[in-house]
Amino acid sequence: MLDLVPPRSSSPPPPSPPPSPRVVLPYSGDLPDELLRQIFELAVILNRHTAKNFMQVSKWVRAWVIHAFYEIVFVKNDDQIYPLARRHEHLLAKIQSLHIALRLKKDSVKFLQRLPNIKQLALQRLPRNHHSRPLEQLLHPDVRLREFVLLNVERGSYRSDVHYPFMTFSSPTFSTLTHLRLGHVYKNLVDQLASSEVPILPVLTHLSFDACAEDGERAADDYRRILGAPSRVDLHMLVVVVFPGGETHTAQLFALRLSRLVVLMDSAGPLKSRGGEWLAAARGESGFWERAARLGRTFRDAFPFKRVPV
């Protein structure tokens, strides 16, 4: 008699594909996969307490968010520092992008010193005693930054350079820096950027300052010096962010007629957090620099060239 039951295979059955998030989230049927990925990814970055729960939704979701969970850190308050500081050293070594949206304190400085592979660093506040220690001494000695953002909204005197000792841009920490965004125009930094003797930041391609209405002609003069320096031929753009009330300063900038000088009008004001743009850039999407290239204006926009008919 024929045996109609097929013999059992000794090899295990092939693994089933990971379930789609749509199986778990039936209300997401109309959302494209890319939008779903962004929702889960942002949730993991912004809420570390529930991040592990998100990664347990399915293997598909875990594959989406595991990069953001280990490599991107956004610190909004002191309570988020403590669980991060308890991570094992090999997990801290995975962090590559860090945004601290609060004043650096003792605990956050200790946390910084344990991160050897930071490539993108954004700080909203300086430590209160920042004059005594430059930035590179607050970081792990192996750090080689690619992008640095310092948006300190406590505006000091432009001419006093009161915040400059916090940053020694000639150190190896900044030798690989390509993108630099600062909330102040530091006179000493301008002098070094325009110097042809010992140029700092040799691979810098993108530079940005937040403009103040009181900066006036002196700051505009510094922008001209930077873009005219022989050591800055590889600087693609110098973005000046102008906030409401700086219209006079904008006219002075356009009058310089510098092709690489981009003026970006920001109606939000200097006190608004730039966390959203930083997160987008850390995740490989359009951030501040893409917005500046898309929406910024040059002198050619303000003074369009008109062809004279022959």
Is 225 inside a domain boundary? yes
Q: What is the pTM of this model?
A: 0.78
Question: Using one digit for the tens of pLDDT, what is the confidence trace for 37-85?
Answer: 777 777 777 776 666 777 777 777 777 777 778 888 888 877 788 888 8
Is 309 inside a domain boundary? no
Whether residue 298 sits in one domain with residue 168? yes
Question: Using one digit for the tens of pLDDT, what is the confidence trace for 136-154?
Answer: 888 899 999 999 988 765 5
Whether residue 157 sits in one domain with residue 47? no
Is 278 inside a domain boundary? yes
Whether residue 238 sits in one domain with residue 158? yes
Is 118 inside a domain boundary? no
**Residue 242: count of CB within 10 angstroms of its CB:** 20
Q: How much is the pLDDT for 150? A: 83
Quick one: pLDDT band at residue 134, thresholds 50, 70, 90?
Answer: confident
Question: 262: exposed, middle or buried (C-beta count within 10 Å: 0-12, 13-18, 19+)?
Answer: buried
Whether residue 268 sits in one domain with residue 151? yes
Give the C-alpha separation, 75 to 101, whole Å.
6
Whether residue 266 sits in one domain with residue 166? yes
Give the C-alpha separation, 257 to 251, whole Å.
11
Domain residues for the domain of 59 are 29-71
Is 184 inside a domain boundary? yes
Per the structure, the count of domains in the chain is 2
Q: How much is the pLDDT for 23? A: 47
Whether residue 154 sits in one domain with residue 49? no
Quick one: pLDDT band at residue 132, thresholds 50, 70, 90?
Answer: low
Whether residue 265 sits in one domain with residue 159? yes
